[in-house]
Structure 1
Amino acid sequence: MPQEHAKKDRRVVRSQEALKQALLALMSQKSFDAISITEIVESANYNRGTFYAHYENKEALLDDIIDELIRKFLASFRAPYEHQDVFRINELTANSVKIFDHIHQHAELYTTLLRSNVMPNLREKMFLALKEISMDELEYPTTGVNQELLAIYSIHALLGLIFHWVESGFEQSTSYMQEQLILIIQWRPMEVKAKKEG
């Protein structure tokens, strides 16, 4: 009996994966809104019954793809501090930053999501996931700075950098982005000169 259950599970995984790949292939050609469930199941060589056995609608299928991507993204975000009691930001090295490795490794998927007009959905989910683990897993020294506002500010800055990189077609190398992030994090000017015309 357990073997039968394992086979069934493999079939479920296989059909879900086929539906995901079919959706992504269609999304590389047109926007998510323009894709129908009929197109997805025809591309995956399944019927509508199989689709509805796994997903309520195409949005649920997309959410499954995004949720899996975010799990991998969070693992890359945690990499510098997950095995440390104290995370020393001033000792952070470019090599310990893994988020750009993750993004580049899944460049085709991020590019497809960008082109098919679902990036705002992805960005919002990434923001909420990062905010949750920042508030739950990282404790900053008490300085009078509101910890939630600090997390919001930092995460928006990080996501802005990431999505600029994706939108530029990965113009800079992974190592360059890692090095620049470290420089940006550690850069604390005491004064900035205002440019005057003429």
Structure 2
Amino acid sequence: MDGKLTGFRKDAPTDARQVRSRKALNATMLALLEQRPFDQITIRAIAGHAGIGYATFFRHYPTKEALLGDVASDEIANLLAMTIPVLRDADSFESTLALCRYVEQHRALWSALLAGGAAAIVRNEFIRQARGLVGQVETPVTWLPADLGVVHGTGATFDLLAWWLGHAPEMAPDAVAPLLHRLIIAPLIGDRSAVTASALAG
């Protein structure tokens, strides 16, 4: 991956055939990432598996990196949509554990997004989307500006997940979640529940 993940969220097509092609390309990228590293995936393979012509690919995306960017934007939105509501609960550890398990279930994709050459661009998109959700989470931490908390929290979460997938892939999600919760989540939202200590002890 060369870092050229430009154009997150291309303008959505309105023609029904174009919509089907775009969905097929996104689904194909997800499927191929489960089978091989991103740098071994060619545009010709993507087009073939998606059932579209090679030239048709370029009507939707200029590069395979742009397609990965589109997929990344959707996956980041899915991840945030899943975890943000749980942060309203008293026990934030459950949301942290859910986040780690979700990443594990989509390990191939998130390894490509977090540890690839475009990781910095994906990180910025992660933070950008999280900033849009600032008003959805009420936190008892009054000393920290909400926007700064989101930038720090999402950026640090991204970095920890990248470390996990890139340097400690043998760790199970249930072992990563206590680290993420204790280092990043709990201090940000003022969660001092005993679950963190018990999880680390276990």
TM-score scaled by structure 2? 0.64
SS of aligned partner of 2:132 = helix
Q: Counterparts of 1:152 and 1:115 in 2: how far apart (Å)?
A: 19
Count residues with an aligned counterpart.
Answer: 173
Max Rg structure: 1
Report whether the alignment pairs 1:160 with 2:167: no
SS of aligned partner of 1:181 = helix
Equivalent position amino acid for 1:125 in 2: E
Structure 1 residues 127, 17: CA separation in 2 closer, same or farther (over 3 Å shift)? closer
Report the more deviating stretch, 60-69 or 99-108.
Answer: 60-69
CA positional deviation for 1:20 = 2.4
Q: 1:20 aligns with which of 11, 29, 43?
A: 29
Q: Counterparts of 1:106 and 1:139 in 2: how far apart (Å)?
A: 29
CA positional deviation for 1:76 = 2.6
1:42-88: CA deviations, max 9, x gaps?
A: 6656423321333344343122211121122112322414xxxxx35
Q: Residue 73 of structure 1 contacts residue 99 of structure 1 at CA under 8 Å; is this kept in 2? A: yes
Report whether the alignment pairs 1:70 with 2:76: yes
- % same residue: 23
Report the more deviating stretch, 158-167 or 138-147.
Answer: 138-147
CA positional deviation for 1:126 = 0.9
Q: How does 1:1-198 map to 2 (within 5 A)?
A: 8=17, 11-12=20-21, 15-17=24-26, 20=29, 24=33, 28=37, 30=39, 37-38=43-44, 40-41=46-47, 46-81=52-87, 87=88, 91-92=90-91, 94-97=93-96, 98-114=98-114, 116-133=116-133, 135-141=134-140, 143-184=142-183, 185-186=185-186
The two structures, once aligned, show a CA RMSD in angstroms of 3.7
Give ranges in structure 1 of 5+ residues lacking alignment. 1-6, 82-86, 189-198
